[in-house]
Amino acid sequence: MIKKIIAAIAVLLAVWATVYMIGLDKEAHKMQRIAELIKSTSMEDKKLGNQEQKKVVQQPVQQASAGKSSKDKEVEEKLRALKEKAGNLAAFKTSPLYKKSCASCHGNIGEGIIGPKLLGDSKEKILNALHDFKSGKRKNYVMYGLLGNMSDEQLEQLATEISTFKQKLDEATK
């Protein structure tokens, strides 16, 4: 009888370990896909000329506009106007910290690429989210990895900068 109980426990542990490893494998594939997307995006910028970059940037914005609310469409129109007016997104100045840590997923001006749109979020909302990601309260391994070594002052700087993007966009499109 004891042998059967031990065997059943061993089988359950083996099943649990298999399920756990499958979950880890899925997370690893997600991280690999994110890394590939980031790498492919950065390579496009170097390879394409200014006119081709403009087309690559505008097409997703036009496609993303379909099925959005009027407020989102208005923001998209302002983004498009800014891109046309400035020639490229380099005219919208962001800090090196934002460019290094955030822009590849959230876009040069917080418009959202892989990560969610940050444009228009308040400083408090952004700062709370950054602290939650850093502490592990909100689960996102990419954000946790990026924020793990940042100081509270750097998180504050990012939140302040990101919260001004909407105002900068409005000023640039006037």
> Cα(158)–Cα(102) distance, rounded to whole angstroms?
9
Rounded to 5°, angle at Cα 56 from 51 and 60:
145
Instruction: Between 82 and 150, name the one with better pLDDT.
Output: 150
Within a 10 A sphere around the Cβ of 126, how many other Cβ atoms? 20
* Per-residue pLDDT band at 67 (split at 50, 70, 90): low
Model confidence, pTM:
0.50
Q: What is the pLDDT of residue 126?
A: 94
Mention every residue, 6+ apart, whose C-beta is less than 8 A from residue 37.
Answer: 114
Q: How many residues does the chain have?
A: 174
pLDDT for 42 beyond 80: no
Q: What is the pLDDT of residue 75?
A: 76
Tell me: the pLDDT tens digits for 6-26?
A: 999 999 999 998 888 888 888
Within a 10 A sphere around the Cβ of 161, how many other Cβ atoms? 19
> Cα(22)–Cα(50) distance, rounded to whole angstroms?
43
